[in-house]
Amino acid sequence: MAEETKILVLGPTGAIGRHIVWASVKAGHPTFTLVRKNAVAIPKPTLITAANPESKEQLLESYQKSGVTLLEV
């Protein structure tokens, strides 16, 4: 029996990290993110989608709704 690969993403609200999180979720891996309590909000993008939300809070909320475990430090 093969063990599931668990993924931990550092910097999940950054330009690259957010894509890694969604790729991991889409591939069906148990996904964990390490988030600083006082992390700076991401810049406001021009297109608002689940993968490109308006604020860091919206991004983290969409991660949780997708089954991502947030580890706050």
Amino acid at 26: K
Least confident among 18-22, 40-44, 68-72:
40-44
Is residue 1 assigned to a domain?
A: no
Which segments within the chain are labelled E, that is strand?
A: 7-10, 31-35, 69-72
- Domain hosting 18: range is 7-72
Is residue 2 assigned to a domain?
A: no
pTM of the full structure:
0.68
How many domains are contained in the chain? 1
Amino acid at 25: V
Give the model's confidence band at 23: pLDDT under 50 very low, under 70 low, under 90 confident, else very high: very high
Q: What percent of the chain has pLDDT over 90?
A: 34
pLDDT, position 72: 82
DSSP structural state of residue 60: H
**Higher per-residue confidence, 16 vs 39:** 16
Tell me what the pLDDT averaged over the chain comes to: 79
